[in-house]
Chains A and B, each alone.
Chain A
Amino acid sequence: MLSLLGVAAVVVGFAARLNPLLVVVVAAFITGVAAGLSPVEVLAAFGKSFNESRFISVAFLVLPMIGVVERAGIQEQARGLMQRLRGVSVGPLLIVYLLFRQGTSALGLTSIAGQTQSIRPIIAPMAEGAVESRSGPLDADGRQDIRATAAATDNVGLFFGEDIFVAIGSILLMVGFLATAGIVIDPIHLSLWAIPTAVAAFLIHGARLLVFDRRMRGRPVA
């Protein structure tokens, strides 16, 4: 039971908006020490796993390319594109992106789009441009709303598309875990049963994007 103190530390630390890196390290020490490890053992276990998880941070290798195209004006180009496509408003734009992201993820192509390579340089500026071309410049709140909605759309598309692909990590984990419990499952069944939820995710998030579209239309012109 004492080991749950670390979980409590994470919840309190994140809620109080303390620096998350410090919160995580402190939580690791609390958890480990409560479970009977020495501080040095905790530090070693933490360092070992950090080192084995370096693959997570490799994704930032995309940043130099994004920076180069931003320097040459890609955000301005994406925004300007929407000035010319005045008929396309923000809701349908993001719905098309949602469909694209879900569809390509379902084919296993999870890393061809994403927050760094699609949302920041292209999709978020397009979404802002779509609203601005209809009802004038955005204030800070409106801008944050649009960007956060674009980022959320990428996550929803990815999460509820990737599990339809047979060879994705989560499917392999499920097959492996069930096998240790003596239940043998063909991965294709797991991916097929992911389809009803995928459809529901598209309908729910798509409907919300339409409501968002209406809200953006109704906003007072700044």
Chain B
Amino acid sequence: MIGLPVVYALAGLVFGAFAILSALDRTNSRRWGNAVFWGLVAASFLAGDRLGDLGNGVLVLGLALIAGLGGLGRGAPLTTSTEERRALATRFGGRLFIPALTLPVVVIFGVLVLKPLQIDGAPLLDPKQATLISLALAAVIATGVGLILLRQPLISPLQEGRRLMDTVGWAALLPQMLAALGAVFALAGVGETIGQLVTDWIPMDARLTAVAVYCLGMAGFTMIMGNAFAAFPVMTAGVALPILIGKFGGDPAVVASIGMLSGFCGTLMTPLAANFNLVPAALLELPDRYAVIKAQIPTALPLLLVNVGLMYVLAFH
């Protein structure tokens, strides 16, 4: 059975290559910072399960210190100039989109065809991780297609990948760091404390108030925790189950579903949802790291109010 370990080994080798190429890049005045940073990420992927909890903690501390003390620079691998790219675009035309389209096609193939496959009664892919494994497989195949179809140098996936990785920089590791912070929050009972505060201080005698507290609470709490999954159990146990469903007889399916989507409105508004909001800002080289969030708030706020209205109208019938 192919599972996550294979994917992690691949990721480890790719980040290891980024580290080595960074060390060799004399155009980057902080090349050793980049080399150690991506090297630590490679070590995490290749040997994370053998480092022990404390070992992993020290590794994360190293990542944070390099990033926090300004140890990361930006490598400048040799690449094509804008003029060359325009000329190449004219030459290749629509063929340029084929590698990018190969990616979704292989992902779909993996999920629909490879996932159900069984060899001697055992599944070919770990069923829980089929999408991630398919994505990794698709990345490898699409890179190969790009190399052959567009006649690019063999080293280019690693050098160009490093160029993009340096563009994202420390933001690349933030989503994983925040997931770890979420675990510490859970350990310390932060969620319960906040849920307790909400239910203790806000009277919820009227149905509309209770609906508003649940929806706005899901959004606000998601903004603090960085994802709606962490907010859902706390807010639902604190407000939805006893009051909306227990006291006012709301339909649990409507309450839960719209409650979760209210949380997603919060996701659009918080820097703690880094993989959706901060990583794209880095990837698109935006000067303002909060530009994506600012573009989302005017959609998220009205939608949150719509959710309050929808739950109020639809949940009690």
Q: Which A residues are CB-close (under 8 A) to B254?
A: 193
Select the stretch in B26-34, B158-166, B203-211 that faces chain A.
Answer: B158-166
* CB–CB A25/B99 < 8 A: no
* CB–CB A19/B183 < 8 A: no
Q: Which A residues are CB-close (under 8 A) to B58?
A: 43, 47
* CB–CB A115/B280 < 8 A: yes
Render B144-186 as a binary contact track against A, CB cut-off 8 A, 1 for contact. 0011001010001111111111001011111111111111110
Q: Does B36 contact A (CB under 8 A)?
A: no
- How many A residues have CB within 8 A of the partner chain? 112
A80: nearest residue on chain B (CB-CB)? B89
- In A44-65, the 8 Å CB interface with B consists of 44-51, 53-65
* CB–CB A71/B260 < 8 A: no
Known A14-B271, A58-B135, A193-B257; judge A24-B178 contact (CB<8 A).
yes
Q: Does A135 contact B (CB under 8 A)?
A: no
Known A69-B100, A163-B257, A169-B229; judge A54-B295 contact (CB<8 A).
no
Known A7-B190, A77-B89, A193-B258; judge A55-B274 contact (CB<8 A).
no
Q: Which B residues are CB-close (under 8 A) to A45?
A: 53, 57, 183-184, 187
With both chains docked as a complex, state the minimum distance between the C-beta of A152 and any C-beta of chain B, in angstroms.
4
Q: Which A residues are CB-close (under 8 A) to B173?
A: 21, 57
Measured between alpha carbons, how far is A11 from B220 in the docked complex, in Å?
13
* CB–CB B190/A72 < 8 A: no
Q: Does B124 contact A (CB under 8 A)?
A: no
With both chains docked as a complex, state the minimum distance between the C-beta of B299 and any C-beta of chain A, in angstroms.
5
Render A138-150 as a binary contact track against B, CB cut-off 8 A, 1 for contact. 0010001101111
With both chains docked as a complex, state the minimum distance between the C-beta of A163 and any C-beta of chain B, in angstroms.
6
- In A188-222, the 8 Å CB interface with B consists of 189-194, 196-197, 200-201, 204-205, 208
Measured between alpha carbons, how far is A70 from B261 in the docked complex, in Å?
35
Measured between alpha carbons, how far is A111 from B104 in the docked complex, in Å?
7
Q: Does B2 contact A (CB under 8 A)?
A: no
Q: Which A residues are CB-close (under 8 A) to B45?
A: 54, 57
Measured between alpha carbons, how far is A167 from B159 in the docked complex, in Å?
37
Which of A27, A40, A56, A151 interacts with B280 by CB under 8 Å? A151
Measured between alpha carbons, how far is A59 from B314 in the docked complex, in Å?
38
B152: nearest residue on chain A (CB-CB)? A68
Render B105-126 as a binary contact track against A, CB cut-off 8 A, 1 for contact. 0011001000000000000000
With both chains docked as a complex, state the minimum distance between the C-beta of B245 and any C-beta of chain A, in angstroms.
7
Measured between alpha carbons, how far is A77 from B165 in the docked complex, in Å?
22
Which of B64, B131, B193 interacts with A21 by CB under 8 Å? B64
Render B264-275 as a binary contact track against A, CB cut-off 8 A, 1 for contact. 100110011011
A112: nearest residue on chain B (CB-CB)? B104
Q: Which B residues are CB-close (under 8 A) to A160?
A: 261, 264, 303
Q: Which A residues are CB-close (under 8 A) to B241?
A: 181
Render A155-183 as a binary contact track against B, CB cut-off 8 A, 1 for contact. 11001100100000110011001100101
Q: Does A28 contact B (CB under 8 A)?
A: yes
Lowest 8 A-B CB distances belong to which pairs? A67-B160, A47-B57, A47-B56, A112-B104, A22-B68, A49-B183, A35-B188, A64-B161
| Residues of B that sit less than 8 Å from A by CB | 4, 7-8, 10-11, 14, 41, 44-45, 48-49, 51-61, 63-65, 67-68, 79-80, 82, 84-90, 92-94, 96-97, 99-100, 103-104, 107-108, 111, 129, 131-132, 134-136, 139-140, 142-143, 146-147, 150, 152, 156-165, 168, 170-185, 187-190, 193-194, 224, 228-229, 232-233, 236-237, 241, 245, 252-254, 256-258, 260-261, 264, 267-268, 271-272, 274-281, 283-284, 286-289, 291-292, 294-296, 298-299, 302-303, 306-307, 310, 314
- 13 inter-chain pairs at a CB distance below 8 angstroms, sorted by A residue, are A1-B193, A11-B224, A20-B271, A63-B164, A65-B103, A67-B159, A68-B150, A76-B85, A155-B276, A155-B277, A159-B267, A163-B261, A194-B258
| Residues of A that sit less than 8 Å from B by CB | 1, 3-4, 6-7, 10-11, 14, 17-22, 24-25, 27-28, 31-32, 34-35, 37, 40, 42-51, 53-77, 80, 108-113, 115-122, 124, 140, 144-145, 147-152, 154-156, 159-160, 163, 169-170, 173-174, 177-178, 181, 183, 185, 189-194, 196-197, 200-201, 204-205, 208
